[in-house]
Amino acid sequence: MIVTDVLVIGAGPAGSSAAKHAALNGAEVLMIDKKSEIGAPKRCGEGVSKEGLKKLRIEPNPRWVTKELSGVRMVSPNGTDVVLDDEKVKLPEAGYILERKVFDKYMAMDAGRAGVQIMIKTLATGIERDGDGIIVYAEHMGYSLKIQTKIVIAADGPESRVGRWAGLKTSMKPKNMESCAQFEMVNVEMEEPDCIEFHFGSVAPGGYAWIFPKGDDIANVGLGILNTVTDKTAYQHLLEFVDQCPATQNAQPVELNIGGDPVGGLIKELLADNILVVGDAAGMVNPLTGGGIASGMTGGLIAGEVAAKAIKNNDWSAKGMEEYKNRCQEEIGDSFKKYLKAKDYMLSLTDEELNTIAEAFRDSDFESINTTELLKKLVKISPKALLKLGKLF
């Protein structure tokens, strides 16, 4: 039997952030991960905003930043592109492309430096309530073990098993779960090698395709789709995109990543007695962009602070930890509500409408690049956008 104050299940960025901040605030913390190598395999386009890292007080490290970006290139179905770079506009949300296999380890190392005990190759297999605490059953290197804890922080990815074991509704509706497929490729020939690239329309039904440069001729090339609007798999759509996209005509894959991305906003039940849910497990992914590193780590920070406070107050009931839900809603959930409506609007557009919007965007002057600014421009350009999104601004 292992005894701890806080058990974090899952050592992704959100889990490591939660563990670190719980430990920094005085809790005894154990973090477990089922993989033998934290960060691998990656299931991510690996993009993160500078602003997101700055808010988390994380200094960029050349060990895990593969590329600093200078702009965005958006491509409509007919190839019309809109390039927004730092020569034309301010870029408050310009960012980096990470090497997640290194970044995730570094975040776990930060947690370890803060005093967190880390166990890899450790799979949680079930939980049961034990008085006012929790017993977590796990398997580690072929052995069974029990972990007695006051608080479990579930950071175990989309549709959290741990959350379900605790009685929370963590499953996602099909319309809120994108199916993603991505190659890491070499010999990619991008028109704007310092820009992240987004391709919209029927190339990726219900989502978009992306090319994220990682330096030299290397890039992540992937897409996300909704299985509710296409009969093909994400992998089939990816093969078609790679075959048709000018940038990937001579490219070769060296890695394939496949996984789900929750794009329905925060789940309704973020906590219960003894349980906090964070990261992808809690739907801490921008519904419009599908990005969730910074928002997941923000949720992890909040969870860690709240968990440590609960330990000090000797109250880890749902009521005693309600601050977690309130802070998450304020710092993450409220903005996600706007992006959910924007996502629904984007889903309603035909390829022809996207082409028209792209043409109009090319002639527009932008003061800054962020999701809100782009949506404001969209409302001015598109009558349908004004009807569906006008009340947001």
Please give the pLDDT value at position 51.
Answer: 87
Determine, yes or no, domain membership for 305. Answer: yes
Range in 135-139, 192-196, 212-216, 347-351 with the lowest mean pLDDT: 347-351
| Antiparallel, parallel or unpaired: β 47-49 and 95-98 | antiparallel
- Beta strands 275-277 and 271-272: pairing type? antiparallel
Residue 165 counted as domain residue: yes
The yes-or-no verdict on residue 64 having pLDDT over 60 is yes
CA distance 70 to 366: 15
The pLDDT score that the predictor gives to residue 174 is 86
> Taking residues 209-217, what's their average pLDDT?
95
**Residue 124: CB atoms within 10 Å:** 22
Domain annotation covers residue 282: yes
Q: Do 150 and 198 touch, CB atoms closer than 8 A?
A: no
Tens digits of residue pLDDT in 346-377: 888 899 989 988 888 777 766 666 666 666 77
The SS3 of residue 189 is coil
Domain assignment present for 330? yes
Segment among 176-190, 239-253, 360-374 with least mean pLDDT: 360-374
- In this predicted structure, which of 52-56, 83-87, 215-219, 287-291 has the lowest mean pLDDT? 83-87
Sign of torsion over alpha carbons 47, 41, 160, 107:
negative
The DSSP annotation for 68-121 comes to: E--EEEEE-TTS-EEEEETTTSB-TT-EEEE-HHHHHHHHHHHHHHTT-EEE-S
- Mean pLDDT throughout 251-255? 97
Specify if 145 maps to a domain: yes
CATH number of the CATH domain containing 36: 3.50.50.60
| Sequence-ordered strand ranges (E) for 263-359 | 271-272, 275-277
Query: Which one, of 257, 268, 244, 191, lies nearest residue 44 by Cα?
Result: 257
Q: Please give the pLDDT value at position 90.
A: 57
- Residue 383 has a pLDDT of 67
Q: What pLDDT was estimated at residue 295?
A: 94
Structure token pair of residue 143: 């052995």
258 vs 94, which has greater pLDDT? 258
**pLDDT tens sequence across 105-144:** 999 999 999 999 999 999 999 999 999 999 999 999 999 9
Angle at 279 between CA 92 and CA 330, to 5 degrees: 60
Is residue 73 domain-resident? Answer: no
Looking at residue 212, its pLDDT comes to 95
**What is the model's pLDDT at position 255?**
96
pLDDT beyond 90 at 233: yes
What's the pLDDT band for 68 if we cut at 50, 70, 90? very high
CB 27 within 8 A of CB 5: yes
Q: 335 lies in which domain range?
A: 2-44+101-172+264-340
**Pairwise CA distance, residues 286 & 338, whole Å:** 10
Mean of the per-residue pLDDT values of the chain: 91
The residues, any chain, with a CB within 8 Å of residue 275's CB and separated by 6 or more, are 134, 151, 152, 153, 154, 162, 163, 166, 168
CA distance 164 to 152: 13
What's the pLDDT score for residue 88? 62
- Whether pLDDT at 386 is above 70: no
Instruction: Give me the pLDDT at residue 376, please.
Output: 73
Show Cβ contacts of residue 334 under 8 Å, excluding neighbours closer than 6 positions: none
Stated pTM of the model: 0.91
Query: How sure is the predictor about 340, in pLDDT bands with cuts at 50, 70 and 90?
Result: confident
Least Cα distance to 12 among 98, 137, 132 occurs for 98
Domain count of the chain? 1
Q: What percent of the chain has pLDDT over 70?
A: 92
pLDDT digit string (tens) for 8-31? 999 999 999 999 999 999 999 999
Q: Residue 389 pLDDT more than 70?
A: no
Has residue 181 been placed in a domain? no
User: pLDDT-based confidence at 87, cuts 50/70/90?
Assistant: low
* Average pLDDT value for residue range 66-83: 91
Q: Is residue 392 part of a domain?
A: no
